[in-house]
Structure formats: structure tokens, C-alpha cells
Structure 1
Amino acid sequence: MAGDGTIGKACDVLDQVAAFERPVRFGELLESSDFPKATLYRFLQSLTNQRMLSYDPERQTYTPGMRLVRLAHAAWTQSSLAPIARPFLDALSRETGETVHLAQLDSSQVLYVDKRNATQPVEMYSQAGKVGPAYCTGVGKAMMAFLDEETLAKALSQQSFHRFTDKTLTSEQALRADLSLIRSRGYAIDDEEHEPGIICIACPVLTSGGRMLGAISVTGSTERMDFEQLETWIPRVRRVAEQIGIEAQAWRFPETRQNASNDRM
């Protein structure tokens, strides 16, 4: 990113390697890179020397390195909602038998931080660790609906509004109208807006003062259910989201009782 200098460029290279989701050769990286050949090679060498990337000399491929894996694990443990939410997601998954997601916002996109597969798994885009669009996913809309106006305006400006299906919302005006409805009723839906045949209900994870921390969803397939069936789980999903919010607030903001009092004001 502009203004981030060498560190930002190195992070871009790490993102590029990770995006392949498999061992990748230098030539493949060069084809999709904005960097000149020598610059890209220099970053790859430096990142490999720092164990952020791993290089296989026999296959001549790069993969994320063990140092990066260790840092990712620390981030997952210390910064994500996943460890706190795990028992609640397990229980919700057992009760519903459907796919359960936990997500947080990452640069105005959805980062899936945990997932439980359905009893009868359905092929879909989302996986833990993947990034997806916010404007056309249940968890994304549930989170954006509870952002303050300044943060929301920035998030909206960064949405691509690409049409994935005939039901995708493709304008800021349409999305804002949907977000207003979500705020009033307390939950979001994805009516085949990102993937054909995939529907979901999602609730935001909030602190007691309304600070948005993430979102959870229950996702199903139109081959097995409709919204009337899926929406019967809304009270339970809302309650689980509240429980995660309470646990997260106690864990992440435990230093004073005054914080909790201020949140309620």
C-alpha cells in the first residue's frame, strides 16, 4: 500500500503467496505482481531469510513459513474471537446441524475466523482464514450495520459491488437501505447474494455498549430449506452472539469496571 514503504511491500508479497493456497513458483508470482523481477526476487529472499516464507529448492516453490504460522497462531489466540467463541459455536452447530460461521472485519472485508460444517456439508466459498466481500454476505452486512457512520462510510467506499448473482446488491444506496433494516431488526440475511443456492441468517457480536466485534451466522442450502425454516433459529443465533459479546468484553476489556459503565452510557 502507498505510504507503507518496505514493510507494506513485503506484506503485499506475503499476501500474494498466501493467495495461491498452494506452493507457488517465482514465475507465477511475477505474472501477477506489480513489482519488477529483481524487486520481487529481493523481497522473496528477505522473507525467506526471516522464515516468513519457506522455499523448496527441489520444487522451486514458495509457501508461508513457520515463523508466519507461529505469528498467525498467536494472532488467532490473542486477537480473534475464535478461542472465546469456540464452545458457543460448537453448541450452535450441534443444535442446528447447519454450517456456522464466525467472522470479523479486516480492511472492510469479511475475515472468516472459524467455521463449523453442517451435518450434511454443502460446498461453499467460506473457510476459516479466507477473506470475502462484506456487502453481499450475511456476516458482512451484520457487521457493517453496526459501525459508526465515519467507519461505515469508509467501509462502503471500499466495497467492489461486483454482481455475483442476480440478487447481489450492487450500489451503496441499496446496501444502506438494507443496513438500516438490519439495525432495526437486529439480524442480517444473505438471500443467495454471494453464492447461488446459499442462504444465511447472521447476528452481530456486540459489547454491552454496542461496539461491533464480529458476527456469527447459520448457513443453509436452498436444496434442503427455505428462509422460513432458517429464520426459526434467529432467537438462538442472537442469544449466542450476545453470549460471545459478553465473554469477549470480559476477556478483552477487563481492566476496569468503569469501561463497562461507559459502554452502557
Structure 2
Amino acid sequence: MATPVNASVIKAFRVLNAFTFAGEKLTLAQLTKRVDINVATLHRFLLTLEHVGAVVRTPDGAFELGLLLADLGGRVSVTDALHNIVQPHVEALAQRFGETIHAAILDQDMVCYVAKGEGSRSLTVITHIGKRLPAYCTGLGKALMSQLDGEALEQCISRQTFKRFTDKTTTSVADLRKELRLIRRRGYAMDNEEVETGLRCVAVPVPGASVRLAISMSAPTTRLNQTKIREVARALQHHAEQISEQISGKAP
């Protein structure tokens, strides 16, 4: 029989997750609207979190995140934490399809691999964790960029240095914007021989994650036709949703 989880701990982290940015100050009434906890219980949680330094009370009686969280955060490597969550998923996908699976984060104008599942098929992709590639012409990069909007998107696009790797590489801002709109509609991104001739990549963003993250599958074009692309996209989306739940602490 599985050991039951502690519901109070889960609720405490829901309270902490209600603060959406550094320095945000929220009143008890505002917090009540963001978390599904009654006022009396929420107030007890806040008093306990204040006692341990996870939140602090401002002079006007509101609450903000405390220095305890900054101290704990300083002890965590984001890439290591993501790797630990994502690695089982990329390995499961690699085993299912026999192809190379990657997870990556967006770093300025580049994508950086944080996890990899090795394919068992011939002609697999030779890469390594920590490898960086341009965002504008990779499936992972375009999946990640499709989640940006406003100033964040404009800054990311302005950092791109368009270089032609193959005759199919995206090389203009207009073409990139058009493709990002398509990705948002259909839910997945493609690198169709843009980086290497004969190699395709399907990628999906991890929805709602606090860190910009995407997962992908790369394979030779001979093994990744349109029917297979749709199947792979669905599988990637399924795992992306599970990863999102684990990152946010909503997974059982």
C-alpha cells in the first residue's frame, strides 16, 4: 500500500505558489481568491509560514515571500532539478519510439539540452546534455518561443542571428513569426531538415511550467513521416502535461 501524501504540506506549497513574482505583496483577501482554502485555515498556514521565514508580513499587513525561500533556492541547481524530473519521461519516450528524445530550456537566443533519452535505432542523433543550438531553426527552440508573447518574444526574436544551415533553414523574422503562429494553432513545432539534411524533429512546450521547457523527438526523415509526426506529437504532449504537473507539485 502506497504511503499517503501529507495534505497540509501540499496546501502550504499552494499558498507559496500563489505569489507569482519576486516582491509581490498579497493581502489575506487576495490570497483567498488565488487558493482554494478557507480564510481561517489560510490564515493559520500564513502564520506558520511566517514563523519559519517562508513568508514575511509587510508593514501594511500584507504578505510576501521570505528569505528562507531565497536561501533554499540558492542551494538548488535549476538544470539538475529539471533533469531529475524530466529524465524518466525522455527515457520512456526513447524506449517507446527507439529514437532520440531531448528536453531543453530557453537561454537567451539559444536552447540548452537538460535531458536526453538515447535511441535504440540505427542513425541516432549524437548530442549531449548542455549542448546549445540556435532557437530560430530548431524544433525545441520554436516550441519554446511559441510560449512567449509581448516584450519577451520581441527580445528573443531580436537576439536571433539567422544563419543558413541547409536550404530549408528559416532565415527571416517574417518566416519565423509565421511559423510561431502555426505552432500555437497546432500545438507542436517542427525542425524539417533545417539544421541537418535528412533529420526531422518534433517538439512540444511543457505547458504552464515556471521554467521555459520543451521536449522533442529527432529522427531521420525516412522514419518520421506525417502520420508518425502526429503520433509522436500526441505522445510528447502527454508527457509534457505530466512534467508540468510534477514541476508545479500537482502530480500525485
TM-score normalised by L of structure 2 = 0.65
Q: 1:101 matched to which residue of 2?
A: 102
Where 1:103 maps in the other structure, the secondary structure is strand
Q: 1:149 matched to which residue of 2?
A: 150
Matched, 1:230 2:246: no
CA gap of 1:147–1:225, structure 2 versus 1, over 3 A, is closer
Give 1:149-228 correspondences, 5 Å limit: 149-207=150-208, 213-228=212-227
CA deviation after TM superposition for structure 1 residue 212, in Å: 6.0
Q: CA RMSD in A?
A: 2.3
Distance 1:212 1:121 in 2: 33
Q: Which runs of 4+ in 1 moved over 6 A?
A: none
Matched, 1:246 2:249: no
Give 1:46-57 correspondences, 5 Å limit: none
Matched, 1:76 2:79: yes
CA contact (8 A) 2:200 2:221 kept: yes
Where 2:202 maps in the other structure, the secondary structure is strand
CA deviation after TM superposition for structure 1 residue 75, in Å: 4.6
CA deviation after TM superposition for structure 1 residue 148, in Å: 2.0
Where 1:105 maps in the other structure, the secondary structure is strand
Letter in 2 for 1:77: D
Distance 1:96 1:138 in 2: 18
Q: 1:63 matched to which residue of 2?
A: none
Distance 1:228 1:108 in 2: 31
Distance 1:147 1:126 in 2: 26
CA deviation after TM superposition for structure 1 residue 246, in Å: 1.1
CA deviation after TM superposition for structure 1 residue 124, in Å: 3.9
Letter in 2 for 1:216: I
Distance 1:182 1:150 in 2: 19
How many residue pairs get aligned? The number is: 177
TM-score normalised by L of structure 1 = 0.62
Distance 2:234 2:205 in 1: 13
CA contact (8 A) 1:182 1:188 kept: yes
**Unpaired runs of 5+ in structure 1?**
1-70, 252-265
CA contact (8 A) 2:102 2:113 kept: yes
Distance 1:123 1:95 in 2: 15
Letter in 2 for 1:187: Y
Cα-to-partner distance string for 1:176-210 (whole Å, 9 max, x where unaligned): 000001011111011001111110111001217xx
Letter in 1 for 2:80: T
CA gap of 1:162–1:217, structure 2 versus 1, over 3 A, is same
Q: 1:65 matched to which residue of 2?
A: none
CA deviation after TM superposition for structure 1 residue 123, in Å: 5.2
CA contact (8 A) 1:199 1:227 kept: no
CA contact (8 A) 2:191 2:202 kept: yes
